[in-house]
């Protein structure tokens, strides 16, 4: 099968949930599947390989202008798909999905993966939200098949949409805990003496109120580590860095991957996810893979994980977060064995392949 993919900035080693999803999904597909993935040139770093397993890349010009970047690149990718042969076009997310009607006009078979309701994110102004809602409408009505990573989001739509939809969750790469601590020493971190959070520095991740709450803790022996980069300089990201400017117990590492990220997960006392919105948080699955105690906001994406009741707090509520943080840190450190059998990428890839085959 010949599959064309767009709606992601690219793989491998590019920050983002959709990027990690595409990396793992297409790597797990059979090698006789020919995957052509469109990447955005401004996001390709020195360690972003041009040859990757059985995935072929087409690197197109793009920008880093928020709101325009995805639209422009997806338009170019859609045009390329129209003038070249393929069996399936797989589009990721509702913004790029605005071009699905154009693909259908030229009789292309299209699969959409609905990752999240992006227009709910605070970073978008009214015009950006309007474009995303329009993209959602066009994408859902035009796609031949739709994959929802969050089954609660699937339930929001009409019976007509649900009939051609499938729920396939995100997965996790199963990695052993690291015994190394050399990366921790770079920041004077001690094992089990820091709280860990991961994500882009954007408003929907809730890092502002996580930082505020952490600073009110009486126990100053703990540090807060946030691993995540900035896509676009915004008033929000500026405010975050101003908050921590004089705080030596809050560490912002930027985007981290590989062994460095593995060490940060392996030696944390607690993983915290403070998001207001998520499609299906891969970082939570990663924390669970490393058997960490977790404390997460009570949004639909985390409720699906059926965690113990004391693992949840009310999203955006500093008082409730403080209470739960205090209780979690007071507990003796112990690893937790979570059942992650449902989240194996090989099974997820097989389910996706089944959808491709049904369409053909």
**For position 106, what pLDDT does the model report?**
97
Q: At what angle do helices 17-27 and 345-359 cross, to 10 degrees?
A: 80
DSSP 115-150: ---GGGSTTS-HHHHHHHHHHHHHHHHH-SEEEESS
**For position 13, what pLDDT does the model report?**
87
Return d(Cα 205, Cα 275) in angstroms, integer.
4
294 has a pLDDT exceeding 90: yes
The reported pTM is 0.88
Q: How confident is the model over 15-27, as pLDDT tens digits?
A: 889 999 999 999 9
CA dihedral 286→292→295→296, nearest 10 degrees, is: 10
120 has a pLDDT exceeding 70: no
Give the model's confidence band at 121: pLDDT under 50 very low, under 70 low, under 90 confident, else very high.
low
230 has a pLDDT exceeding 90: no
Domain 2-171+344-359 has CATH 3.40.50.2000: yes
CA dihedral 301→306→307→311, nearest 10 degrees, is: 50
287 contacts 294 by C-beta, under 8 angstroms: yes
- Residue 165 pairs in a beta bridge with 146
122 has a pLDDT exceeding 70: no
147 has a pLDDT exceeding 90: yes
Return d(Cα 50, Cα 279) in angstroms, integer.
29
Q: How confident is the model over 30-43, as pLDDT tens digits?
A: 988 999 999 999 88
DSSP 293-333: -EEEE--HHHHTT---GGGEE-TT-HHHHHHHHHHHHHSPP
154, burial (CB in 10 Å: exposed 0-12, middle 13-18, buried 19+):
middle
The CB-side HSE value for 164 (13 A sphere, CA atoms) comes to: 17
**For position 328, what pLDDT does the model report?**
95
Which distant-in-sequence residues (6+ apart) come within 8 Å of 102 by Cβ? 78, 82
44 has a pLDDT exceeding 80: yes
> Which 8-state DSSP code applies to residue 41?
G
Distances in Å between the Cα of 243 and the Cα atoms of 206, 237, 240, 248, 289 are: 14, 10, 5, 11, 31
**For position 45, what pLDDT does the model report?**
77
**For position 124, what pLDDT does the model report?**
66
**For position 131, what pLDDT does the model report?**
78
**For position 231, what pLDDT does the model report?**
73
Q: How confident is the model over 274-283, as pLDDT tens digits?
A: 999 898 999 9
Structure tokens at 279: 């499609």
11 contacts 19 by C-beta, under 8 angstroms: yes
The CB-side HSE value for 42 (13 A sphere, CA atoms) comes to: 12
Query: Quick one: average pLDDT of 257-284?
Result: 95
Query: Quick one: average pLDDT of 239-250?
Result: 90
* Cis peptide, bond prior to residue 213, ω within 30 of zero: no
Give the percent of the chain with pLDDT over 90: 75
Give the model's confidence band at 66: pLDDT under 50 very low, under 70 low, under 90 confident, else very high.
confident
227 contacts 257 by C-beta, under 8 angstroms: no
Helix count (H) and strand count (E) of the chain?
14, 13
Q: What are phi and psi of 197, to 5 degrees?
A: -140, 150
Q: How confident is the model over 163-201, as pLDDT tens digits?
A: 999 999 999 999 999 999 999 999 999 999 999 999 999
Domain spans, the chain: 2-171+344-359, 182-330
Q: What are phi and psi of 194, to 5 degrees?
A: -150, 150
Give the model's confidence band at 119: pLDDT under 50 very low, under 70 low, under 90 confident, else very high.
low
Overall CATH class of domain 182-330: alpha beta
Return d(Cα 90, Cα 83) in angstroms, integer.
16
**For position 227, what pLDDT does the model report?**
96
288 has a pLDDT exceeding 90: yes
**For position 161, what pLDDT does the model report?**
95
């Amino acid at each position: 099968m010949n599959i064309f993919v767009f709606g992601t900035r690219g793989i491998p080693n590019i920050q983002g949930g959709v990027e990690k999803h595409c990396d793992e999904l297409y790597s797990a597909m059979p090698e006789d599947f020919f995957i052509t993935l469109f990447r955005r040139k401004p996001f390709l770093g020195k360690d972003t390989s041009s040859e990757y397993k059985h995935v072929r890349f087409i690197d197109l010009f793009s920008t880093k202008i928020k709101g325009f970047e995805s639209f422009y690149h997806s338009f170019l990718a859609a045009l390329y798909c129209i003038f070249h042969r393929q069996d399936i076009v797989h589009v990721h997310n509702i913004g790029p999905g605005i071009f699905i009607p154009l693909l259908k006009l030229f009789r292309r078979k299209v699969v959409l993966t609905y990752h999240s309701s992006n227009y709910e994110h605070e970073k978008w102004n009214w015009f950006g939200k309007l474009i995303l809602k329009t993209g959602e409408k066009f994408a859902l009505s035009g796609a031949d098949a739709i994959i929802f990573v969050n089954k609660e989001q699937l339930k929001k739509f009409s019976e007509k949409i649900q009939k051609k939809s499938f729920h396939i969750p995100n997965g996790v790469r199963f990695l052993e805990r690291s015994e190394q601590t050399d990366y921790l020493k770079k920041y004077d971190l001690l094992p089990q003496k820091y709280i860990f959070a991961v994500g882009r520095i954007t408003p929907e991740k809730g890092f502002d109120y996580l930082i505020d709450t952490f600073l009110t803790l009486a126990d100053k022996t703990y540090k807060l580590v946030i691993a995540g980069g900035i896509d676009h300089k915004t008033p929000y990201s500026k405010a975050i860095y101003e908050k921590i400017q004089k705080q030596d117990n809050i560490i912002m590492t930027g985007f981290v991957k590989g062994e460095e990220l593995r060490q940060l997960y392996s030696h944390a006392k607690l993983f915290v996810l403070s998001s207001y919105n998520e499609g299906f948080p891969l970082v939570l699955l990663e924390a669970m893979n490393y058997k960490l105690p977790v404390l997460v906001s009570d949004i639909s994406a985390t409720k699906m994980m059926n965690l113990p009741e004391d693992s949840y707090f009310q999203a955006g509520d500093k008082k409730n977060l403080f209470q739960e943080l205090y209780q979690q840190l007071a507990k003796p450190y112990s690893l937790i064995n979570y059942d992650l059998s449902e989240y194996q990428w090989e099974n997820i890839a097989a389910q996706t392949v089944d959808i491709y085959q049904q369409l053909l």
